[in-house]
């Protein structure tokens, strides 16, 4: 690891004078059509935040280029003038990765919305970053194909954002995260250089910059084209719903299924507060008395699914499920999933506000961690509903609070932080699929020791030496971590910095 001077947080904090802004606008006008540059306060307001709406800031200005050449020109102008750039897809991110900077340009990719090419024989599609996740599957449905990663926001979220956050979804247990479903990307570096990363081959020589860029949260470059893998639609999909008297037993059932060598297409858990909220909202037919339910989807050939359905039913019963139901038809299967997919908005109906967390843990700790989360909730005087990708050990605790009550937002944030730190303590991570953004930047100090963080900065420096791309996000400075660590050591809450790694 090289001794790069640690990036001062300069680029995201320096102020821009009115004259500088005027000159920047003039420069951008010279390379962009009228409709590609927004500068009026009311135009900027709709870009104040992404899906993490507790953080808001109006950008210095917004650029909406139509093509790569325009995006290149924008980056070169900003680089020249040392103006930070924040890229934005559909703005559905949940960790504030697209939160604007008041001294920086917001680069919206909404107009990169074309599917450029579909190669049915090789089962690949070449698309622009602004294409919606679900639009890809819709476009290739007639070919019997689909794009596997399915974040809950798939109706709205863009594939470019999916790559930037390495998004997951219900089906990632079997089909992998975004990084496993992308073959290549075209990336603009901060100086406007266009890089082609990855290939359609089995493996690409050279360093794996494709994997490096996937999940890099807009800190290394701006993605302008993506080649995704397409999957053949399985012959059949079937879902089982199992009820449990307590969460810990449900957690152990998950371990039993995976331990048997079965890889469900999806294996989701909901606890009682989530079950009640969802049932009340969409009437999915959930057992409202259950402490927890598991939804287990199996897909593949008819024979294979039939066999696995029997096998999983047995495993669930043996693991202590009080009831196991198999969807009787496609309508019921979709109803079972409708409850899960509506869980977040459903919880939104029972609380003024909620804060959606995202951490991962080794599956074997599921029961223990859920119990501890409940305790932490009580300690902070807040309710927590759990809806999550149990098969992946990817938790999504929803912290219920009311921002209009003084101090509740702060308590929710504190509880969220403790939950993420708990994930690290048991050998997990502070994010499964939502990214770090601004939300979890302090928890990165818990996740990583100084040498890894220093290497991250050296690597960022290799792509963006001036630290102009999405500054202040995803990777904390060592200085920030030193303060955070010191604070924690002082409180003695955390076994920091010598947490068990794994």
Segment 353 to 392, residues that bind a second copy, using CB under 8 A: 360-364, 389, 392
Give residues 154-193 in contact with a second copy (rule: CB under 8 A). Answer: 166, 168, 172, 177, 179-180, 184, 189, 191, 193
The helix/strand/coil state of 355 is: strand
Using the structure block, give the residue that is written with the tokens 């992308």: 182
Q: Which of residues 124-153 bind a second copy (CB under 8 A)?
A: none
Contacts of 302 by beta carbon, 8 Å cutoff, 6+ apart: 235, 236
Stretches 62-70, 270-278, 458-466, 490-498: which one binds a second copy (CB under 8 A)? 458-466
Compute the least distance from the CB of residue 293 to a second copy, in Å: 21
Among 19, 202, 331, 406, binds a second copy (CB under 8 A): 202
> Is the dihedral angle over the CA atoms 466, 471, 472, 473 positive or is it negative?
negative
- The mark string for 4-23 relative to a second copy (x by CB under 8 A, - otherwise) is x-------------------
Residue 82 CA to residue 99 CA, distance in Å, equals: 19
* 203 lines the binding site for a second copy (CB under 8 A): yes
Q: Residue 179: what are its φ and ψ, rounded to 5°?
A: -60, -25
What's the CA gap between 75 and 260, in Å, rounded? 51
Contact window for a second copy (CB under 8 A) among 9-17, 209-217, 288-296, 368-376:
209-217
State in angstroms the smallest separation of the CB of 123 from a second copy.
8
Q: Which of residues 102 and 119 has its CB atom nearest to a second copy in the complex?
A: 119
Q: CB under 8 A: which stretch of 148-156, 303-311, 321-329, 371-379 binds a second copy?
A: 303-311
**Which residue, 184 or 239, is less far from a second copy as judged by CB?**
184
The footprint of a second copy on this chain (CB under 8 A) covers a number of residues equal to 90
| Residues in region 256-285 near a second copy by CB under 8 A | 259-261
Q: CB-wise, 152 or 272, nearer to a second copy?
A: 152
- Min CB(467)–a second copy separation in Å: 11
The whole-angstrom separation of Cα 308 and Cα 144 is: 23
The residue within the footprint of a second copy, chosen from 103, 216, 238, 386 (CB under 8 A), is 216
Q: What's the min distance (Å) between Cβ of 79 and a second copy?
A: 11
Binding flags for a second copy, 410-439, as an x/- string (CB under 8 A): -------------x---xxxxxxx-xx---
CA 252 to chain CA mean position, Å? 26
Nearer to a second copy, 343 or 474 (CB): 474
| Token code pair at residue 319 | 């693991």
- Contact between 215 and a second copy per CB under 8 A: yes
Output the smallest distance, CB 316 to a second copy, in A.
18
Q: Which residue, chain included where needed, has tokens 């199992």?
A: 242
Contacts of 20 (CB under 8 A, 6+ apart): 81
Q: How far apart are CA 473 and CA 98, in angstroms?
A: 9
**Cβ closest to a second copy, residue 193 vs residue 330:** 193
Of 15-74, which residues contact a second copy (CB under 8 A)? none
Q: Residue 1, interface with a second copy (CB under 8 A)?
A: yes
Our finding on whether 243 is near a second copy (CB under 8 A) is no
* Beta carbon of residue 25, minimum distance to a second copy (angstroms, whole number): 27
- DSSP single-letter state for residue 34: G
Q: Tell me if residue 133 falls in helix, strand or coil.
A: helix
Q: Does 207 bind a second copy (CB under 8 A)?
A: yes
CA neighbor of 319 nearest in space, from 375, 265, 390: 390
Q: Which lies closer to a second copy via its Cβ, residue 415 or residue 474?
A: 474
Q: Is 303 in the site for a second copy (CB under 8 A)?
A: yes
99 touches 218 (CB < 8 A): no
- Judge whether 288 and 279 are in contact, CB under 8 Å: yes
User: Which of 10, 33, 381, 465 forms a contact with a second copy (CB under 8 A)?
Assistant: 465
Q: Does 400 bind a second copy (CB under 8 A)?
A: no
Minimum CB separation of residue 308 from a second copy in Å reads 8
Closer CB to a second copy, residue 83 or residue 475? 475
User: What is the rounded distance in angstroms from the CA atom of residue 356 to the CA atom of residue 168?
Assistant: 15
- Rule CB under 8 A: choose which of 112, 456, 484, 496 binds a second copy: 456
Residues 6+ apart with CB under 8 A from 451: 1
How many other β-carbons are positioned within 10 Å of the β-carbon of residue 42?
Answer: 7
99 binds a second copy, rule: CB under 8 A: no
Which stretch in 151-159, 275-283, 301-309, 344-352 sits in contact with a second copy by CB under 8 A? 301-309
Write the CB contacts of 219 (distance below 8 Å, at least 6 apart in sequence).
Answer: 460, 463, 464, 469, 470, 473, 474, 475
CB 38 within 8 A of CB 491: no
Residue 441 CA to residue 218 CA, distance in Å, equals 15
- State which H helix or E strand residue 353 sits in: strand 353-356
The residue (of 415 and 424) whose beta carbon lies closer to a second copy is: 424
Which element (helix H / strand E) includes 256?
helix 247-259
Task: Give, in order, the Cα–Cα distances in Å from 194 to each of 33, 73, 459.
Answer: 21, 12, 18
């Amino acid at each position: 690891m090289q001794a790069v001077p640690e990036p001062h947080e300069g680029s995201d904090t320096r102020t821009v004078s009115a004259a500088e802004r005027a000159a920047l606008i003039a420069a951008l006008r010279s390379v962009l059509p009228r409709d590609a540059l927004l500068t009026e306060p009311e135009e900027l307001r709709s870009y104040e935040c992404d899906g993490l709406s507790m953080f808001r800031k109006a950008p210095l200005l917004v650029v909406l280029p139509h093509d790569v050449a325009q995006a290149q020109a924008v980056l070169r102008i900003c680089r020249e003038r040392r103006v930070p750039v924040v890229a934005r897809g559909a703005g559905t991110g949940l960790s504030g990765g697209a939160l604007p900077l008041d001294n920086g340009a917001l680069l919206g990719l909404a107009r990169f919305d074309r599917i450029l090419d579909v190669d049915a024989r090789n089962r690949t599609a070449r698309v622009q970053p602004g294409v919606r996740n679900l639009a890809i599957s819709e476009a290739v449905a007639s070919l019997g194909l689909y794009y596997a990663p399915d974040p809950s926001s798939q109706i709205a979220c863009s594939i470019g954002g999916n790559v930037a956050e390495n998004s997951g979804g219900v089906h990632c247990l079997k089909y992998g995260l975004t990084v496993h479903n992308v073959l290549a990307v075209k990336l603009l570096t901060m100086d406007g250089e266009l890089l082609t990363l990855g290939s359609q081959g089995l493996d690409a020589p050279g360093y794996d910059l494709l994997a490096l860029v996937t999940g890099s949260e807009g800190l290394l470059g701006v993605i302008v084209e993506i080649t995704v893998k397409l999957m053949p639609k399985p012959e059949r999909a079937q879902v089982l719903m199992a009820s449990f008297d307590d969460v810990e037993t449900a957690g152990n059932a998950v371990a039993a299924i995976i331990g048997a060598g079965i890889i469900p297409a999806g294996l989701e858990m909901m606890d009682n507060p989530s079950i009640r909220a969802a049932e009340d909202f969409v009437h999915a037919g959930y057992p409202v008395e259950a402490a927890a339910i598991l939804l287990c989807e199996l897909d593949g050939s008819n024979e294979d699914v039939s066999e696995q359905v029997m096998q999983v039913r047995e495993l669930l019963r043996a693991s202590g499920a009080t009831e196991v139901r198999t969807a009787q038809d496609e309508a019921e299967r979709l109803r079972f999933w409708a409850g899960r997919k509506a869980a977040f908005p459903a919880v939104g109906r029972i609380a003024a506000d909620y804060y959606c967390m995202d951490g991962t843990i080794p599956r074997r700790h599921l029961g223990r961690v859920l119990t501890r989360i409940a305790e932490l909730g009580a300690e902070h005087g807040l309710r927590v509903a759990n809806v999550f990708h149990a098969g992946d050990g990817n938790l999504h605790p929803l912290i219920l609070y009311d921002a209009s009550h003084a101090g509740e937002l702060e308590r929710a944030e504190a509880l969220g932080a403790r939950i993420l730190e708990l994930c690290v303590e048991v050998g997990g991570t502070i994010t499964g699929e939502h990214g770090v953004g601004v939300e979890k930047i302090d928890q990165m100090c818990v996740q990583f020791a100084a040498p890894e963080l220093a290497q991250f900065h050296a690597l960022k420096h290799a792509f963006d030496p001036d630290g102009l791309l999405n500054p202040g996000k995803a990777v904390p400075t060592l200085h920030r971590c030193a303060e955070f660590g010191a604070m924690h050591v002082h409180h003695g809450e955390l076994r920091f910095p010598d947490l068990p790694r794994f």
